[in-house]
Structure 1
Amino acid sequence: MLFGAVDVGSARVRAGLFADDGRLLARSSRGFSLVPGPDGHAGHDFAEIWQAVADALAEARRLAGAAPSQLRALAFDATCSLVVDAPGFTPDVIAWHDHRATAEAAELSATGHEVVARAGGSVSPEMQTPKLIWLARNRPDIWASLRGVRDLCDHLAWRATGIEARSLCAAAAKWAWLPDRGGWQEDLLHQMGIAGFPRPGPVLAPGSAIGCLSERGAAELGLDRETVVAAGLIDAFAGALGAAGDMPALIAGTSNCIMARDVRPGQGLWGPYPGAILPGESVTEGGQSATGALLESIRQLYPGTESHDAILVRLARRPDVDETLHLLPDFKGNRTPFADPGMRGVIHGMSLQRDVAALDRLYWRAAVAIALGTRQIIRHMGLDSPRLAMAGGQARAPLMRHLYADTIGAEIHWQPEDAVLRGSAIAAAAPLSGGILAARDRFARPLQITTPDPQSVARRERDWRIFLRMQQHRDEIAAM
């Protein structure tokens, strides 16, 4: 009996096959395109994403030597991109990082509704409700002809099964839906003029069975119709589910997210979201957008072809290069603690050199800045845990785990296999394994622990003081 997991990120689909004891047997990935638009709009073509899903799953099955009949269940996680199913709307996926609805988010924030309080007092344009408001006001033709509008993880499950259902994870975290306040907040939807969008079907807890693959879904994915599809999660929440479960989790991928229980509401903190990952638990998220994307933008500056792994191997030999170079990493705004989507990054001490050594220095100091921002988020959340589970692409590099341990001053606990895919595999296994808690326990893997190095901690303390001072300078300049 095998379980499939599909993770749709910002530019790639990753598929994994897991044994029923939680071992990752095979993994494959396929890329898909970003479609840029005017005024910072960004989107994707769902057909291209779906083809990448099918190709990645087929390759993972081939690598594992698995027949379609062996895959008993499947779940999807994805970025919180919005799929608009309406004739003539292209590209039909609004990317999660699209900020077209900044004005609508500000208007929504001014209502003071409980949905706003759960968004840290300031709704992000990355959430779905402001995007719906933008769509209704700017594309009334599309709004009038909507066949469906879904979070990407939900649309993937719908395409696979043909069954209308929403994940509680996505609904609670990104929509005007509060699980402990009766669900859909009709008063707010009517106030903002968006109550009429189609939203049939139940809202299901992660790991709940939606149903089996449809005839179309089975044919397109190359699987048997009997394969069960379970309700999935937003990608960061899947990572938290797949990481060590008894401590806060840092999901360090395209963005950095800290997921934790029992956090008091505060500015720039998203939540608490009851049941968004596990039943009976509320989770709160603090985060910073486009952290891994910042490193990727620097990687693209290198002459020739460079991989993140190659850069990090070089840096591991001499990590503390050019400590006169300092950054504030808010190039896509700041989520936590400032809740300001208009905030921008700062680089201090940059030269005109563009050779490999200079770009390595820029890459490393950007990584340091991102880790410092994560430290600030953790402090803002009031977390004092000496342990932090880490997942996501940045976690694969020992150098990055050491950087976060030294900067935050906490042990970093990492499970060597992919925690985001594992989280989705746990959701997939839940209907056939006695529930999501039992599946999580079965899928747990041995941990690797990275402890802070006292000498490096001292260097990061100096960086921390400079980081805070640069933020003060930025505020002073903005006030002028």
Structure 2
Amino acid sequence: MTATPETTPQTAPEASGGGLLLGIDIGTSSSKGVLVRPDGTLVAQARREHTTSSPFPGWFEHDAERVWWGEFCSLAQELLARRPAREPLAAVGVSGIGPCLLPTDDRGTPVRPAILYGVDTRAVAEIAEQNERYGAEDVIRRCGAPLTSQAVGPKLAWLRRHEPAAYAATDRWYMASSYLVHRLTGRYVLDHHSASQCTPLYDLAARAWISERREEIAPGLAWPELVWPSDPVGAVTPEAEARTGIPRGTPVVAGTVDAWAEAVGVGVAAPGDLMLMYGTTMFLVATLERPLTSPHLWGTAGAFEGTYCLAAGMATSGAVTGWLRDLTGTSYEQLTAEAAQLPPGAEGLVMLPYFAGERTPLFDPDARGLVHGLTLRHGRGHLYRAALEATAYGVRHNLAAMGEAGAAADRLVAVGGGAHALWTRIVSDVTGRAQHLPRHTIGAAYGDAFLAAVGAGLARPGDIAHWNPVVEVVTPDPAASAVYDELYGLYLDLYPATREAAHVLAARHRIDSGAIREA
């Protein structure tokens, strides 16, 4: 592996007037915010950590009032306190984890915690029922993606069946970004990209809700107006000003799911561009010139009108490294240093990273984590390196699925808090692919600020190349890649070889946890 500066010079345009852009993103385990000038200059950034609730196996939830809105307010207040004098605020952009399901009453007050995206696997029975009702192939054809734990439709059906009192109190439902927009402006909207992940409720070609399915799956609910992520949808209300410090009347754009905001923020806009988002989960977004579908991936609307995407997502990546950090009581820095001293393959270990099931390309909520090859001489550094390598094998597996679906991935852009030297080096060595690192890899909040700039008329979609140029390229080491080619074959073999046992253990886990729940 070598890391080299990007050779093509890119010059930022002259700074223009118009005011600052505030971008805030709500992630799985942290929230981030930035203040950015209209030329892309980063003025200030801030971060908050939070936890994800998992009251039962397969359940993952957030307290929307405390985590989503509370951390938004805290970040906004901190960033605005650091705003340079005489620089007004021009617009606000938001993003968040998704697709999620937050049921609320008609005033937008949550009636229960938000049910998170594909890591939450509670709606297995409802997925099967909706596949039977609408036809698995027709769902993919019309909606662009198969029905999986990622989809909102089965989550709505689960709520109606298992928590009838909560459903009876529900009038609206939100995702993280749309809930923040509501709290800021009073509007009830959802962007087209987020809607395209509400399988089987959104028609990808028609760019519209499927009305008959809405009433069948979730009768009696009000549905959000569909807009595009950079569309200005309202202005900050006096009530929101009092909580956030954002001046009343400041324009707010619709925002979107965090991975797509992050893709916007690093210039993954041309066909052939693909983003690797290193975070609690690993996410891949490929930009397309036409819609593509695959039974193993998610076809979606893009962040801008007229664009499409093919996406993939692993259920865990940083979540496993965090688990190892907590389990060993060791810092990330120490674990990384120990792992970096080891050769490719972690001296004979191969890990399956399915600690929360797996999303693409397996779509198996009952897949389970596995460390194969353990001996008494292996230590925490070996496990940590094996976890990084497991994520890299998962990336390679998903890139192969994208290629089979017809999506070219000519340029890979690495972003996210986990995009550090060792991890990106391992991913390049495992995949045999170079990765481009932009100047800013701070996350979706930067993309939120750019979407706000576009909505406020201070930038055009193509201006992101000047906002966030590539500054480094990570290239694979052929010798390491040869080792990983052999180990990747073992990685692919391990899942089918252990799937039956994993499913038995997953069922056992549900039985045992059910007994604990009832006790």
2:259 pairs with one of 236, 242, 266 = 236
2:515 aligned partner? none
Residue 473 of structure 2: SS of its match in structure 1?
Answer: strand
AA paired with 2:203? L
Partner of 2:386: 365
Q: Tell me, yes or no, if structure 1 residue 60 matches structure 2 residue 79.
A: yes
1:342-381 equivalent positions in 2, closer than 5 A: 342-351=366-375, 358-381=379-402
Which residue does the alignment assign to 2:294? 266
Give the aligned residue type for 1:226.
G
Instruction: Give the letter for the 2:323 counterpart.
Output: S
> Contact 2:357/2:366 (CA < 8 Å) preserved in 1?
yes
Contact in 2 for aligned 1:157/1:229 (Cα 8 Å):
yes
Mapped to 2, the partners of 1:31 and 1:476 lie a distance apart of 37
Q: Distance in 2 between matches of 1:261 and 1:65?
A: 36
Match of 1:190 in 2: 215
Tell me the distance in 2 between the aligned counterparts of 1:284 and 1:386: 14
Task: Specify the alignment match of 1:289 in structure 2.
Answer: 315
- Do 1:166 and 1:231's aligned partners in 2 also have CA atoms closer than 8 Å? yes
Q: Percent of counterpart pairs with the same letter?
A: 26
Task: Give the direction of change, closer, same or farther, for the CA distance of 1:119–1:285 in structure 2 (3 Å limit).
Answer: farther
Match of 1:82 in 2: 101
Q: Determine the C-alpha separation between the residues in 2 that align with 1:434 and 1:479.
A: 52
1:103 corresponding residue in structure 2:
125
Which residue identity is paired with 1:177? Y
Structure 2 distance, partners of 1:310, 1:71, is: 41
Letter in 1 for 2:21: F
| Amino acid aligned to 2:398 | I
Distance in structure 1 (CA, Å) of the matches to 2:124 and 2:139: 17
CA separation in 1, counterparts of 2:110 and 2:475? 50
User: What secondary structure, in the 3-state scheme, does the structure 1 residue paired with 2:254 have?
Assistant: strand
Opposite residue 407 of structure 1, the aligned amino acid is: V
Specify the SS of the correspondent of 2:323: helix
Q: Distance in 2 between matches of 1:479 and 1:93?
A: 27
Q: Is the 8 A contact 1:207 1:230 kept in 2?
A: yes
Residue 93 of structure 1 and its aligned partner are, at CA, apart by: 1.7
Provide the C-alpha distance between the structure 2 equivalents of 1:17 and 1:115, rounded to a whole number of angstroms: 41
| Residue 31 (structure 2) pairs with residue 13 (structure 1) | yes
Whether the aligned pair in 2 keeps the contact of 1:105 and 1:124 (CA below 8 Å) is yes
- Note if contact 1:72-1:226 (Cα within 8 Å) is conserved in structure 2: no
Looking at structure 2, the residues matched to 265 and 142 of structure 1 have their Cα atoms a distance apart, in angstroms, of 35
SS in 2 for 1:203: strand
Point out the more displaced range, 114-123 or 203-212: 114-123
Distance across 1 between alignment mates of 2:503 and 2:456: 58
Give the secondary-structure state (helix, strand or coil) at the position aligned to 1:323.
coil
- Rate the CA distance shift 1:478–1:38 in 2: closer, same or farther, 3 A: closer
Q: Assess, with a 3 A threshold, how the Cα gap between structure 1 residues 286 and 461 changes in structure 2: closer, same or farther.
A: same
Pairs within 5 Å for 1:71-470: 71-80=89-98, 81-86=100-105, 91-96=112-117, 97-110=119-132, 111-112=134-135, 114-117=138-141, 122-175=146-199, 176-181=201-206, 183-192=208-217, 194-200=218-224, 202-245=225-268, 246=270, 247-262=273-288, 264-271=292-299, 273-274=300-301, 276-303=302-329, 306-318=330-342, 320=344, 322-351=346-375, 358-382=379-403, 383=407, 385-395=409-419, 397-417=420-440, 418-433=442-457, 436-470=460-494
Match of residue 66, structure 2, among 48, 66, 89? 48
- In the alignment, is the contact (CA less than 8 A) between 1:386 and 1:411 conserved in 2? no
Q: What amino acid is the match of 1:391?
A: V
Q: Deviations over 1:4-46 (max 9, x none)?
A: 1111011211111111111222111112343332354332222
Q: 1:299 to 1:91 in 2, by over 3 A?
A: farther
Could you tell which deviates more after superposition, 210-219 or 259-268?
259-268
Unaligned runs of 5+ in 2: 1-18, 505-519
Letter in 1 for 2:73: A
Q: Which residue of 1 aligns with 2:512?
A: none
Question: Given that residues 102 and 110 in structure 2 are in contact (C-alpha distance below 8 angstroms), is that contact kept between their aligned partners in structure 1?
Answer: no
SS at match of 2:305: coil
Q: Quick one: higher RCO (CA 8 Å, sep 6+), 1 or 2?
A: 2
311-320 or 53-62: which moved more? 311-320
Q: Deviations over 1:257-277 (max 9, x none)?
A: 221133742122111x23x31
Q: Counterpart amino acid of 1:180?
A: A
1:473 aligns with 2:494: no
**For 1:381, what is the secondary structure of its paired residue?**
helix
Q: What does residue 507 of structure 2 align with?
A: none
For 1:446 and 1:122, the matched residues in 2 are separated by 34
TM-score, length-scaled by structure 1: 0.90
Distance across 2 between alignment mates of 1:66 and 1:410: 45
User: How far 1:78 moved relative to its partner?
Assistant: 0.5
Q: How many aligned residue pairs are there?
A: 469
Answer with 371-380 or 25-34: which moved more. 25-34
> Could you report, residue by residue, the CA deviation over 1:360-413 in whole angstroms, capped at 9, with x for unpaired residues?
210110110110111011011115545311111221x11111111111111100
Worse overlay, 49-58 or 436-445: 436-445
Which stretches in structure 1 are left out of the alignment for 5+ residues?
none
Contact 1:257 1:287 survives alignment (8 Å):
yes
CA distance in 2: counterparts of 1:283 and 1:151, whole angstroms: 20
Secondary structure of 1:173's aligned partner: coil
| CA distance, structure 2, for counterparts of residue 456 and residue 63 of structure 1 | 45
Structure 1 residue 171: deviation in Å?
A: 0.9
Taking structure 1 as reference, are residues 408 and 119 closer, same or farther at Cα in structure 2, changes over 3 Å only? farther
Check 1:33–1:23 CA distance in 2 against 1; reply closer, same or farther (3 A cut). same
Where 1:261 maps in the other structure, the secondary structure is strand
Separation in 2 of the partners of 1:41 and 1:242? 30
Contact 1:108 1:116 in 2 (8 A): no
Q: CA deviation at 1:237?
A: 0.9
**8 A Cα contact 2:342 2:382, kept in partner:** no
Deviation of the 1:316 alpha carbon:
3.1
Q: Distance between the aligned counterparts of 1:37 and 1:477, measured in 2?
A: 25
- Identify the range of structure 1 (102-111 vs 171-180) with the bigger mean alpha-carbon deviation: 171-180
* Contact 2:145 2:293 survives alignment (8 Å): no
CA distance in 2, matches of 1:359, 1:393: 22
Instruction: Encode CA deviations 1:403-445: one digit per residue, 9 max, x unaligned.
Output: 1111111110011312422211111111223665145345232
Per the normalisation by structure 2, the TM-score is: 0.84
**Cα distance in 2 for residues equivalent to 1:199 and 1:66:** 41
